[in-house]
Amino acid sequence: MKNPPNKCLISTLLTFQLMLSAIYAAELATNLNRDGSHISKESVRTMITFAFVTSAIWFGLTAVSLCGLVINRIYLLIPHLIYTIFLIIFTFGSLAVLIISQAPVWPHILASITGVLLSISIIEHFKIVISIHNYSKNGSRDECMMRVIGEK
């Protein structure tokens, strides 16, 4: 591979995902731990719990993926890659429901930003996984080296 993928870009995208998942998990945990008067139905509480668990898993897998990126271990990157595919489907499905239900604009914006971030991340993540796989197969140091942002 002449131009190895840029690990700086994927590490930045993963850091944004880490922050976003922490924010989502904290917000959902706050909603679950309130007195409960704002949650009128048990189905809403179940939905919030599901979203919290999804965000917590996302946070954990993103942290593991960052560690795998640093130490070049493909088996630490694969679970996050697979889970990100699930999250993209979930995010754009949620966005479709928000549009159909004519929800306020703010959730549309958050879902759109999250979906775009995940879509860009999965492409870069896949490139890194292939690069690390080629590195371990061929033993070529050039396949997995860090490139500075903007370097061609």
| Rounded distance between C-alpha atoms, residue 98 and residue 113, angstroms | 14
Backbone angles phi, psi at 2, to 5 degrees: -70, -50
Q: How many residues does the chain have?
A: 152
Q: Where are the alpha helices (DSSP H) in the chain?
A: 7-33, 42-71, 74-100, 105-138
Encode pLDDT of 102-139 as tens digits.
888 888 888 899 999 999 999 988 888 888 777 767 66
- Is the Cβ–Cβ distance between 116 and 92 less than 8 Å? no
Q: Following DSSP, what letter does each residue of 133-146 receive, concatenated?
A: HHHHHH--GGGG--
C-alpha 141, offset from chain centre: 28
Rounded to whole angstroms, the maximal C-alpha distance in the chain is 60
Tens digit of each residue's pLDDT (9 = 90 or more) over 1-46: 455 566 788 888 899 999 999 998 888 888 777 756 666 777 777 8
Greater pLDDT, 48 or 150: 48
- Is the full-model pTM beyond 0.75? yes
Decide: helix, strand or coil at residue 151: coil
